[in-house]
C-alpha cells in the first residue's frame, strides 16, 4: 500500500485517444485520458525517486499552490497583474495550436485561466525539450489589438496595453513561486485529436503567446492551459460546444502504475444518479470553483463548518481543486476534526509524519487500521469518504489523516476526490459526486 501515496498528485495527458463531436454541434462530447504524474507512462516520472520522496514533493507543491487561493489585496500598481501559482506539472495536456497544427505539451490547471505557450521570438524563455511555437508559421494566428473589447474585458486575466501607441494587447501572469509569463494575446486555432480519425478544431481560441517565461516550469512542458471559470479559460471558451460541462474520475494510484483516469467534456460529462451541490462565485476570486460546506460528520459526531472558512462574506466557503493534494480547512476546524477522528481510530499508535507535514499519524498496518466514516455535507449533497479518501500512507508503517490546517483558504483536495465521478455543469451551476470505480470507467 505504500505505492498508494502516489495517488496524491494526478497528471493529465490529453492525447490523440479522444472521441469527440465537431465544435459546431452544441454540447457534443469527447473524453480524454488522465495519467498519474508519477506513473511510468508520465514524462515527469523519475524512476530514481522513492514513494516517500514523491509524497514529500507533492505536499510541498500543495503548500506552494495554496498561495494562489488566498484572497488578494489590492495592488497600488497601475499595471494589471494576474497572480496565481505554478502547477509544477500537476497535469499535462497534449493539444495543438495554429494552422497547420503545432503540438503543444502544456500544464493543465483548474486554478488559472489563461491558455499560453512559449513563442518565438523568445526574449527570455525557459528550456523546453520540444520545439517552440512560431506564430509566423501559423496562417490562423492573429494578435488581439489594444482597441478591441477583448483586451479591455480581460484585465482580470492579466491583459494590458502599456501605452496608447501600443497596438497589440499584452498579458502578464505572475505565479506564487515567482514564476511568470509575459507576451501577446492572440487568437488561433486549438486542435484536439479524435479516435474517429479526424481532428476536432476550435477556431479563434484566445491564447497567450509567451515571449518572456521563467521560473519553476518543467522542461517537458510548453506552457499552461487554464481550466478555471474566468473568461479566458479553455472551459469558458469552449462554451456551447461542450454545453458548459466537464467531468473527471481520478484513479487511486496503487500497484498498477499504468492505469489511466478519464476527463470528459460535453455530453460525455453528464453524471447521472449523483448528488449535486451548487457552485458559487466570489467577485474577488472569479477563477475558482467554490462550494458551500455546511458540516463534516466523523462517525456520529457532526462538526459545523463555517466562521473563519467563509471568504469575503460571500456564499461558498471551500474551493474544489483537482490539483491540490490534501484537503485544507481552517486551523480551528482542523483541531476539532483531528480530535474527533483520533478518538475513534482503532488499531494504531500515534506517530510523527516522517515528512513533518501531516499532524495526525499512526504506526499501523494500513489494512488493519480501523477509521471512522467521514462525511462531507455540502449544500444538498452528502459525500461519504472511504478510508483511502481520508488517509494516506506516508511510509511502510505510518498512515496519516489527509487534512491540513490552513487559515489562508479552504480547499477540497484530490485525495478526497479519488474514485468519484465528479461533474461540473456551469450552465446549471452545480457540481455532482458519484462513487465510481474509476479504473473501470
Distance of CA 116 to the CA centre of its chain: 16
* Contact partners, residue 22, CB within 8 Å, separation at least 6: 28, 200
State residue 72 phi and psi, 5-degree precision: -90, 140
- The one catalytic residue in 113, 184, 188, 321 is 321
CB 399 within 8 A of CB 350: no
Collapsed DSSP state (helix, strand, coil) of residue 404: strand
Q: In which residue are the cell numbers 482597441 written?
A: 147
| Alpha-carbon distance values, 103 to 14, 40, 131, 132, 191 (Å) | 11, 22, 9, 10, 9
DSSP state of 414: S
Count of C-beta atoms within a 10 Å radius of residue 244: 20
**What is d(CA 156, CA 236) in angstroms, rounded to the nearest whole number?**
14
- The one catalytic residue in 109, 113, 188, 388 is 109
Name the residue among 321, 194, 192 with its Cα closest to residue 250. Answer: 321
Question: Is there a catalytic annotation at residue 109?
Answer: yes
Question: Is there a catalytic annotation at residue 321?
Answer: yes
Name the residue among 424, 265, 372, 441 with its Cα closest to residue 433. Answer: 424
Longest alpha-carbon distance in the chain: 70
Which residue numbers are catalytic? Answer: 109, 321
Amino acid at each position: 500500500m505504500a505505492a498508494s501515496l502516489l495517488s496524491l498528485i494526478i497528471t493529465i495527458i490529453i492525447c490523440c485517444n479522444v472521441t469527440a463531436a465537431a465544435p459546431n454541434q452544441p454540447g457534443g462530447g469527447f473524453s480524454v485520458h488522465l495519467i498519474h504524474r508519477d506513473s511510468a507512462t508520465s514524462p515527469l516520472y523519475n524512476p530514481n525517486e522513492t514513494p516517500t520522496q514523491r509524497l514529500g514533493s507533492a505536499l510541498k507543491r500543495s503548500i506552494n499552490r495554496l498561495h494562489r487561493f488566498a484572497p488578494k489585496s489590492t495592488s497600488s500598481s497601475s499595471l494589471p497583474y494576474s497572480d496565481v501559482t505554478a502547477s509544477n506539472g500537476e497535469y499535462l495536456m497534449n493539444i495543438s495550436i495554429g494552422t497547420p497544427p503545432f503540438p503543444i505539451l502544456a500544464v493543465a490547471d483548474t486554478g488559472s485561466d489563461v491558455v499560453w505557450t512559449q513563442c518565438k521570438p523568445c526574449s527570455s524563455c525557459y528550456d523546453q525539450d520540444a520545439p517552440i511555437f512560431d506564430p509566423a508559421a501559423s496562417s490562423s494566428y492573429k494578435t488581439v489589438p489594444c482597441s478591441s473589447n477583448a483586451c479591455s474585458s480581460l484585465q482580470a486575466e492579466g491583459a494590458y496595453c502599456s501605452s496608447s501607441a501600443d497596438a497589440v494587447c499584452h498579458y502578464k501572469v505572475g505565479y506564487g513561486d515567482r514564476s511568470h509569463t509575459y507576451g501577446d494575446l492572440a487568437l488561433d486555432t486549438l486542435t484536439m485529436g479524435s479516435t474517429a480519425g479526424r481532428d476536432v478544431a476550435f477556431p479563434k481560441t484566445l491564447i497567450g503567446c509567451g515571449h518572456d517565461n521563467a521560473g519553476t516550469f518543467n522542461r517537458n512542458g510548453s506552457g499552461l492551459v487554464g481550466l478555471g471559470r474566468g473568461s479566458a479559460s479553455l472551459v469558458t471558451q469552449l462554451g456551447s460546444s461542450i454545453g458548459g460541462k466537464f467531468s473527471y474520475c481520478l484513479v487511486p494510484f496503487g500497484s498498477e502504475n499504468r492505469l489511466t483516469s478519464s476527463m470528459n467534456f460535453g455530453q460525455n460529462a453528464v453524471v447521472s444518479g449523483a448528488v449535486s451541490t451548487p457552485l458559487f462565485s466570489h467577485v474577488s476570486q472569479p477563477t475558482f470553483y467554490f462550494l458551500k460546506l455546511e458540516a463534516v460528520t466523523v462517525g456520529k459526531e457532526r462538526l459545523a463548518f463555517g466562521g473563519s472558512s467563509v471568504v469575503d462574506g460571500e456564499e461558498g466557503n471551500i474551493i474544489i481543486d483537482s490539483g491540490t493534494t490534501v484537503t485544507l480547512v481552517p486551523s480551528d476546524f482542523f483541531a476539532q476534526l483531528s480530535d474527533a477522528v483520533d478518538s475513534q481510530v482503532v488499531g494504531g499508535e500515534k506517530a510523527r509524519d516522517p515528512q513533518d507535514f501531516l499532524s495526525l499519524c499512526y504506526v499501523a498496518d494500513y489494512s488493519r487500521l480501523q477509521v471512522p466514516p467521514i462525511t462531507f455535507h455540502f449544500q444538498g449533497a452528502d459525500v461519504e469518504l472511504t478510508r483511502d479518501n481520508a488517509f494516506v500512507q506516508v511510509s511502510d508503517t505510518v498512515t496519516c489523516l489527509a487534512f491540513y490546517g490552513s487559515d489562508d483558504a479552504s480547499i477540497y483536495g484530490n485525495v478526497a476526490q479519488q474514485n468519484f465521478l465528479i461533474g461540473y455543469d456551469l450552465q446549471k451551476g452545480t457540481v455532482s459526486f458519484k462513487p465510481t470505480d474509476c479504473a473501470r470507467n
